[in-house]
Amino acid sequence: MLALFLSTITFFIRGKAETIFNLECRLKKKYRIMIKSKGKFIIQKNSDLRVSSYLTKRGSYFNMKSRSKKSEFSINGKRLWDDLMILGEIGRGEDGGVTRISFDQEDVQARKHLLHLLEEADLQPYMDEAGNIFGTIPGKNPDLPEVLIGSHIDTVKSGGRFDGAMGVLMGVEVLRTMKEKGIQPDRTVKVVSLTDEEGARFDYAFVGSTAISGAISPDQLRKDLASAKDKNGISYLEVMKNASIEGGYFTRVNPDSLEKAQFRKDQVKAYIEVHIEQGKVLENKDLGVGVVSGISGGDWADITIIGEAGHAGTIGMAERKDALTAAGECLIAIEKIAAESNGSVATVGKLDVKPGSSNVISGRVDFTLDVRDISDNRRQETVKSIFNSIREVTKNRGLHCEINPMQSVPSVMGSPMVNEAIQESLHELNCPIHHLPSGAAHDAMVMGNLTKIGMIFVRSKNGISHHPDEWSSFEDVELGCEVLFRTTLKLL
Ligand code: GLV
Ligand code: MN
Ligand code: MN
């Protein structure tokens, strides 16, 4: 078996970095090789993914500069970094970007990998009815409200390896470290990988956090999942129903039983999430880690403009009901309204033109709307003005519009209780304390419906995210995890 796979892969030197050199191994189709640690491989059957893993002489990925304070660290930064790089291989494409769309083949593979890590660490893994994956250290007193550490392992199309995955793997590392050190907490602590934070396929996000936090009722969530369809008309509900076919831990996934996934408010003490900043604030301040003051709320909607398709050569300009030019006018109005709101940001990231032919006037345009603001009142005003303006533009042109609000999540502030624990941890590590808001959405904002939340940001290189070049340094990731470890212990 080994000889067979060795004969099908090619190794080549990636370059020298001090005493370390990297080797890249590529294997097309059939098997995925996971490098767990020096000398230890996992080989998984794999259908058609390109595998590209980086090995070094020390069994690590990159040279790690020694840190003056490292001796104070409890967590194992190298183990965490290796986990992050290995998970980042699942769904990695030709452009280096990672694509794991919730419940697709790569996401399922990543879920299995995470479950395996949790099993290895003896963290009593399970998957709930919404597909959320948990690892657990039971507390001495099971009646005390639990502490949850979480994020997500799904990605946008061709995204990075850090967005979401880093927060989940840090949770695993914190629990693993607690076990190794024989720390048995009073209250139960869980790491959770939440289903579909990105909403990349169905334009419906935060599915796992919505299910466990009860942000909307299970009935409403089922209705939303039934009406959220991908570009081929397949509903989210169908996909979730089919997930149990995978067997094993997946058997429990069942949208008909979402009620069982929901936590009671008195069951949870706090939710903590570590995430890459996805901006440049920490980089500009030369800080590895920051405390999130609050997360902007968001509104998401699908808009349809219906005009009349017609021949590009025969229909005069005055007679046209061109859905695309109407959409163009709406887009300019959306930009202007957000710019003049003094705080809201609005984005149209997807636009679909039908019939989509160069010699046919457009009969229908569908586009998405994404509005964010730290102020809920201002965001609601912005959304209202945008909807009115779309109605006005289409009416003036004699066209029709359909406006379907998809999701609305209020902004949430970091809880003083959690933020104090983060600050204290930073203080212990002689790190400056800097607060910054999050413009990006996170599961933590939905978890705010259930419990007190807190977020720790890790510096992003050049602020790049949702992109193959997304990067954070080993040192910053290690520091972020140590801060998480200390914060968690203070809350237990
Ligand atoms: C999540 O990645 C977002 O859309 O902010
Ligand atoms: Mn993201
Ligand atoms: Mn994320």
**Residue 3 neighbours by CB under 8 Å, 6+ apart:** none
Instruction: Spell out the domain ranges in the chain.
Output: 1-63, 76-296+412-491, 300-409
Q: How many residues does the chain have?
A: 492
Mutate-to-test residue for ligand 1 from 409, 442, 445, 455, highest number of ligand atoms within 8 A of CB = 442
Task: For the chain, give percent helix, strand, coil, nearest 5.
Answer: 35, 25, 35
Rounded Cα distance, 383 and 140, in Å: 48
| pLDDT beyond 60 at 41 | no
Residue 465 CA, closest ligand 1 atom number: 2
Model-level pTM?
0.84
Q: Give me ligand 3 centre to Cα 165, in Å.
A: 8
For 434: left if phi > 0, alpha if psi spans -120 to 50, otherwise beta; the answer is beta
Say what percent of the chain tops pLDDT 90: 85
Rounded to the nearest whole angstrom, what is the distance from the C-alpha of residue 180 to the centroid of ligand 1?
Answer: 34
Which residues have C-beta under 5 Å from ligand 2, the single-atom ion? 163
Task: Please give the helix or strand (H or E) that residue 308 lies within, else none.
Answer: none
**Averaged over 464-469, what is the pLDDT?**
97
In which band, very low, low, confident or very high, does the pLDDT at 486 lie, cut at 50, 70 and 90? very high
Q: How far is CA 157 from CA 97, 107, 369, in A?
A: 8, 12, 18
- Whether 198 is in the pocket of ligand 1, judged by its Cβ within 6 Å, is yes
The protein residue with its alpha carbon nearest to ligand 1, atom 1, reads: 441
Is residue 33 within 8 Å of 49, Cβ to Cβ? Answer: no
> Would you say the CB of residue 89 lies under 6 angstroms from ligand 1?
no
Question: Under CATH, to which class is 76-296+412-491 assigned?
Answer: alpha beta
Amino acid making up residue 36: K
CA of 449 to the centre of ligand 2 (A): 20
415 CA to centre of ligand 2 in angstroms = 22
Element (H, E) at 425: helix 416-428
Give me ligand 1 centre to Cα 86, in Å: 23
Q: H or E stretch including 387?
A: helix 376-396
| Confidence category of residue 66, pLDDT binned at 50, 70, 90 | very low
Q: Which has the closest alpha carbon to 301: 383, 363, 244, 357?
A: 383
CB contact at 8 A, 416 and 453: no
Q: What is the pLDDT of residue 72?
A: 84
Burial environment of residue 275 by CB neighbours within 10 A (0 to 12, 13 to 18, 19 or more): buried
pLDDT of res. 29 = 34
Kindly report, residue by residue over 285-316, the tens digit of the pLDDT: 999 999 999 999 999 999 999 999 999 999 99
Place of tokens 């009935």: 219
Q: Above 70 in pLDDT, residue 432? A: yes
Longest dimension (CA), the chain: 79
Q: Say if ligand 1 is within 6 A of residue 441 CB.
A: yes
In this prediction, residue 159 carries a pLDDT of: 98
Asked if residue 142 has pLDDT above 80, the reply is: yes
Q: What is the enclosing helix (H) or strand (E) of 28?
A: strand 20-28
Position 28 pLDDT exceeds 50: no
Six token digits for residue 149: 């550490």
At residue 55, does pLDDT exceed 60?
no
Which pLDDT tens digit goes with each residue over 310-332?
Answer: 999 999 999 999 999 999 999 99
pLDDT tens digit string along 179-198? 999 999 999 999 999 999 99
Distance 426 CA to ligand 2 centre (A): 25
**Separation between Cα atoms, residue 384 and residue 382, nearest integer Å:** 5
Q: Is it the case that residue 119 has pLDDT exceeding 60?
A: yes
Element (H, E) at 223: helix 218-227
Could you tell me whether strands 126-127 and 133-137 are parallel, antiparallel, or unpaired per DSSP bridges? antiparallel
pLDDT tens for 247-284 read 999 999 999 999 999 999 999 999 999 999 999 999 99
The CATH code for residues 300-409 is 3.30.70.360
d(CA 263, CA 107) in angstroms, rounded, equals 24
For the chain, the average pLDDT equals 89
Confidence of residue 69 (pLDDT cuts 50, 70, 90): low
- Nearest-CA residue for ligand 1 atom 3 is 441
Rounded Cα–Cα distance for residues 240 and 5 (Å): 34
Predicted confidence at residue 120, as pLDDT, reads 97
Count of alpha carbons within 13 Å of 361, Cβ hemisphere only? 20
Element (H, E) at 234: none
Please give the average per-residue pLDDT across 374-393, as a whole number.
98
* Statement: residue 22 has pLDDT above 70: no
Task: Report whether residue 146 contacts ligand 1, using a CB cutoff of 6 Å.
Answer: no
